[in-house]
Structure 1
Amino acid sequence: MAGMTVAPRRWAARLAAAAGLLVTVVALLIAPATPASAHAVLESTSPAASSIVPSGPSEVVLTFSESVRKVPDKVRIIAPDGSRADRGEPSFDGKVVRIPVDPGGARGTYLVSFRVISADSHPVSGAFTYSVGAPSTPPVDSGSDSRANPVVSNAVKVARFLGYAGLVLLVGPALVLAALWPRRLSRRGPTRLAWTGLGLVALATLADLWLQVPYTAGGGLFDVTGEGFGTVFGSAFGAAHLVRLGLLAASVFLLRPLLARPAGRADAIILAVLGAAALLTWPLAGHPAASPAPAVSVVVDAVHLGSMAVWLGGLLMLAVFLLRQADERELGAILPIWSRWAALAVSALLLAGTVQALIEVATPQALFNTTYGRLLLAKIGLFALVIAVAAYSRQLVRSRVAEQRPAPVRRAVWVELAVTVVVLGLSATLVQTTPARTAVAEPSGGVEAGQFSTTLSNSLFTMQIELSPAERGNNSVHLYAYSKDNLPLPVKEWKATAALPSAGIEAIEVPLLPLTDSHAYGDVSLPAAGDWQLKITARTTDIDQATVTATVPIR
């Protein structure tokens, strides 16, 4: 009678899991298609940043490196008097954003601020100015703040960490209970750990969905709207997280009997398929789905995440339960098997991590000169330490010391756990950091490594401006003039001034020395930090001259 009762339960669990998997497939089919790309960066604008145009444009065009999506009311143009100059909604066509503008607006400086969503679900924000007729004091956009809320940004990282931690707590007990757990030992402790892990993954997934609304819009922790949720749920990020929740719900029906007793082969296979599908939702909602090789990156990242969960989850089970409760005979059977599993997981981690690094970093320069690259180096260093400790543990297992004296192995396992928790924290930060391949490709119109560099154009010439070290005190200025054909353009007369209107500092003349016909050099002392207005006038003939203005951030 008992056998007849268990069989229908198993079939019901399998049917429920299959239904959950079907819902997941349908969700994937109706999820919006997203082109492969990375953190988008602003490549060019029309009018050009800091340029002066003779008459007002009918539209402002932003061109990004990759396709971007809209954040409601976060693309704005502010007129010199502080009013809104944009007219109607901006249009998004792949990587090009067009903002309609009233061409009959006032003369002076206009501020363009934007916040959009790149294909990897991260917000991209910024601002620039252009002037109509002549520059004026730049306006301030008091109605929109494109900066990320620090509480939300940190909460996103915490949610990512909790999701990883929950995955470890879920996978470790499930795997050990299914294959390595001695029958005589109680399964209560590992079962509670597994359910805690599943709860953490579900909680982190819901938190991700909630936080994505203010994270993309730039608001506070509770600045959420129905429109914001609609935008998130309609994105690839939202679809991946909803799919994960569906897979978690489906797996509950098969996880319950597995945790209570050894599972049948069919149940274990179905649960493994659900778990593998759930693992794919992490890379599908982040950088890998937007890499230059998305199919490879998604699979590699899922392998990386799964190997981490197996290794760290197994270590946790060893440290907390098996090394304390199993006897010598049981450890003699368990530890060699676990050692082989750990070696396989570590090998997969190394291989997947190498492929990830090659795709996301791309160049040695990006590895050492970007935040992403330096975080990755720190992660590699800690991982090497863990590998050394793991090698020591496996040596103890091979020498059979652990069967008689498990204390040395237990200490080594706790060291592995402690270091890998830090690695998990770095991983949670890495997924929120601009990939190195994108960071090194960002335009140079800003302060980087102690130098400001930008290129401005008008109807007469193109001007390349370099100022270093872009800090308070003495600074060197190099100016290069080019024709529309990108050839050196002779300049008869150079003039340059620097002003800081926000601090009441009027224009300071910059003495310039022509080094060649198209290259001038000067020194200027900038006494305060802030956004300085550097104005350069170049006269190319007796009657032809033009002026460009650059906003230079001084630290």
Structure 2
Amino acid sequence: MTPSTHPAGRRWAWLITRLAVVALLAAGGLVTDLGSTARPAFAHAYLLETSPVDGAVLASPPAEVRLRFSEAVSFNERSFQLLDVSAKKLAIGVPGHVDGKANTARVSLPADLAEGTYVLAWRVTSADSHVVSGAFSFSIGHPSATTALVGQDASPALPVVDAVGRGLAFLGVAVALGGALFVVVLWPAGRGDRRGPRLVWSGFAALTTGTVVVLLVQGPYAAGTSLAGVFDPDLLGATVSTRLGHALLARLVIVLALGVIFGIAVRPSPPPDGVEAVGVGAAGGSAVRRVVLPAVAVVGAVGLTLTWALADHAQTGVQTWLAVPATSAHLLAMALWLGGLITLVACVLIPAGRREPTRVISLEPVLPRFSQLAQICFAVIAGTGVYLAWRQVGSWAALGATAFGWLLLGKLAAVLAVVGLAAGARRFVRRRSREPLGLDAAPSAAVRRLRRSVAGEVVLGVAVVSITAVLVNTAPARTSYAPPVHTTVPMPTTEDAVDAAPGLAGASIEVTIEPARAGSNVADIYITGRDGSLIAVPEISGELESPNREVPALPVKVTAAEPGHYVANSMSIPFPGSWMLRLDIRVSDFDETPVRVQFTAR
């Protein structure tokens, strides 16, 4: 017996093939995903406002603190921490939602807080299952120096393990669904070839393992504890009670059901003699295989993709009623295409042994069938992808000015490259199908070119999946894009001001605020005369005013950069929304002119 026909030799060949495929997926997908998720993600819920506001100086201790977010958030008793000037944690009340509002949290504070500065650190889980954190400070009586941390961070290992779980689940669903369809429907010889079912079972194993990892890690990740928190039953119970927990448990049940269906589908059919023995029972069993199992498998596959769509970005933001089914269809089409493509390469286009290294398993009818499936999947991916891209980007300007937009353009380039390679493979199928001897009579050189082309599709497909994994942890352009505020207002002057500074007659004030979003901003202020020249004034002072009368005016320090050009280098905007920058321009020792600039911070 030659090495190529020895069972051990075939097992080693299969093992090497499987490891090569897994290594390719891991290198392209998981590593990229780890790089993107190991750092904090700001792609999800963000803080809109707090009461008291960040940096506020209060005359007396507040009874409670409120935080309003852009979407619904969940939290636990460890989600909020109050730190005094020495970074000591103080006892606070049990956090809860305000009047049933899922996006607003409140926590009561001690009534005997001493004077000084306090930091409230928060860590919550947004509606799309991602953890966000931050901190803000307020002072009682007067500000004081503090050594308190500005935020809470979980163990660095938690986001890495979470990324591994999410990556395994994402890749597993592609191999399980796409591979199962390929083996059961597209490849008649697949049921008798061990490589196909083994690859599909590997996909089910990866999907199950990844789901369990995410379920166990979510609790300590949300609470900001160490990796040992995966063994804390309280944290696991908290996760199970959330939307994400429900989705993950449902996913495990669906995976089990689909696994049973796949096992029945690849099990050899009973011999014809059994029909006479069992009579009607055999006919009923055949009907179950032909009708019931496929119907249940379709429902299960759709339900499986919904466990992602109902616990991620799709169910937050605009048009969730359309985004959820669109995301589910997008994921399902990707899984059927990529999983089928991987199975095609690993089980059909790669030679089975050394005996005939230049030949492959019969390409009829699997290649034409997969080519048709790929066309349908590409159409669904393109249609849903365009809609989802618009939903997450919102404008052409945001596409080129955000990290999300650039990643989306990179994904589009990879998809177009895949389409180009797929078109070449489809031309091969059409051309050879018209030949009298069909695909299996294609020259060895042409088959090798086809093999390289399809392998290139796999590599690019993994690249698309990798970029998608990064996009999940990147702020959507629609919410992260904040165009700079650039406005020009006329300089209001009085006769006394014009007498003191004649150049101010007909002058204007140009104000640019970047990035015009919550947090630290830079405001450039130019005073230009009628002829366009810069006009210097003795002094400019400023304040930020909010339409909310409960928010006190915040001082803005303005310094002179050059004559006629003034800068506020650290203008802090506490939360997104409408604001007014009030500038008091002193034109002489006795005259001062107020200017108000309205703008919106993202």
Closer, same or farther in 2 for the Cα pair 1:259/1:101, shift >3 Å?
Answer: same
> What is the correspondence of 1:249-260 to structure 2 with a 5 Å cutoff?
249-260=256-267
Closer, same or farther in 2 for the Cα pair 1:61/1:456, shift >3 Å?
Answer: farther
CA distance in 2, matches of 1:459, 1:212: 35
> What is the correspondence of 1:449-464 to structure 2 with a 5 Å cutoff?
455=544, 461-464=553-556
Structure 1 match to 2:335: 309
Cα shift at 1:170? 1.4
TM-score, L = length of structure 1: 0.73
Closer, same or farther in 2 for the Cα pair 1:49/1:465, shift >3 Å?
Answer: farther
For 1:116, the aligned partner's letter is V
Structure 2 match to 1:241: 248
What is the RMSD of the two structures over their aligned residues, measured on CA atoms? 3.7
Aligned with 1:91 (options 76, 92, 96): 96
For 1:87, the aligned partner's letter is I
CA distance in 1, matches of 2:429, 2:155: 49
Cα shift at 1:331? 2.5
Output one character per residue of 1:346-393: Cα deviation in whole Å (capped at 9) or x when no partner: 111111111111112222343333333332222122111111111111
Structure 2 match to 1:527: none
Larger mean CA deviation between 249-258 and 358-367 belongs to 358-367
Closer, same or farther in 2 for the Cα pair 1:454/1:49, shift >3 Å?
Answer: farther
Closer, same or farther in 2 for the Cα pair 1:468/1:284, shift >3 Å?
Answer: farther
Q: Is 1:422 the equivalent of 2:463?
A: yes
CA distance in 1, matches of 2:264, 2:337: 23
Structure 2 match to 1:128: 136
Q: Is 1:342 the equivalent of 2:374?
A: yes
Structure 1 match to 2:490: none
Structure 1 match to 2:209: 203
The gaps in structure 2 that reach 5 residues or longer are 1-42, 270-288, 353-358, 434-438, 483-514, 525-541, 573-577, 597-602
Q: Is 1:412 the equivalent of 2:453?
A: yes
Q: How many residues align?
A: 455
Output one character per residue of 1:119-161: Cα deviation in whole Å (capped at 9) or x when no partner: 11111211111122221102415xx962244322122222222
Q: Is 1:102 the equivalent of 2:110?
A: yes
Closer, same or farther in 2 for the Cα pair 1:432/1:214, shift >3 Å?
Answer: farther
CA distance in 2, matches of 1:157, 1:241: 15
Cα shift at 1:450? 11
CA distance in 1, matches of 2:363, 2:127: 48
Closer, same or farther in 2 for the Cα pair 1:252/1:485, shift >3 Å?
Answer: closer
Cα shift at 1:86? 5.4
CA distance in 1, matches of 2:594, 2:65: 30
> What is the correspondence of 1:40-439 to structure 2 with a 5 Å cutoff?
40-85=45-90, 87-93=92-98, 94=101, 95-141=103-149, 146-183=152-189, 186-224=192-230, 225-261=232-268, 263-324=289-350, 330-400=362-432, 403=440, 404-405=442-443, 406-439=447-480
SS at match of 1:295: helix
CA distance in 2, matches of 1:287, 1:241: 16
CA contact (8 A) 1:111 1:129 kept: yes
The gaps in structure 1 that reach 5 residues or longer are 1-37, 470-474, 494-512, 521-555
CA contact (8 A) 1:157 1:432 kept: no
CA distance in 2, matches of 1:218, 1:312: 35
CA contact (8 A) 1:157 1:428 kept: no
Structure 2 match to 1:528: none
Larger mean CA deviation between 410-419 and 183-192 belongs to 183-192
CA contact (8 A) 1:332 1:400 kept: no
CA contact (8 A) 1:109 1:132 kept: yes
SS at match of 1:335: helix
CA distance in 1, matches of 2:200, 2:223: 35
Aligned with 2:519 (options 418, 439, 446): 446
CA distance in 2, matches of 1:129, 1:308: 46
Output one character per residue of 1:45-100: Cα deviation in whole Å (capped at 9) or x when no partner: 22221122223222222222222221322212223354445532233222222222
CA distance in 1, matches of 2:591, 2:171: 61
SS at match of 2:79: strand
TM-score, L = length of structure 2: 0.68
Structure 1 match to 2:568: 477
> What is the correspondence of 1:537-548 to structure 2 with a 5 Å cutoff?
none
CA contact (8 A) 1:361 1:367 kept: yes
CA contact (8 A) 1:456 1:464 kept: no
CA distance in 2, matches of 1:182, 1:120: 41
SS at match of 2:44: coil
Cα shift at 1:410? 0.9
Closer, same or farther in 2 for the Cα pair 1:412/1:478, shift >3 Å?
Answer: closer
Closer, same or farther in 2 for the Cα pair 1:336/1:450, shift >3 Å?
Answer: farther
CA distance in 2, matches of 1:358, 1:291: 12
For 1:117, the aligned partner's letter is T
SS at match of 2:110: coil
CA distance in 1, matches of 2:551, 2:220: 41
For 1:233, the aligned partner's letter is V
> What is the correspondence of 1:2-13 to structure 2 with a 5 Å cutoff?
none
CA contact (8 A) 1:41 1:65 kept: yes
Larger mean CA deviation between 424-433 and 39-48 belongs to 424-433
Cα shift at 1:205? 0.6
Larger mean CA deviation between 211-220 and 275-284 belongs to 211-220
CA distance in 2, matches of 1:438, 1:232: 27
CA distance in 1, matches of 2:157, 2:146: 29
Closer, same or farther in 2 for the Cα pair 1:78/1:185, shift >3 Å?
Answer: closer
CA contact (8 A) 2:522 2:570 kept: no
Closer, same or farther in 2 for the Cα pair 1:206/1:485, shift >3 Å?
Answer: closer
CA contact (8 A) 2:586 2:592 kept: no
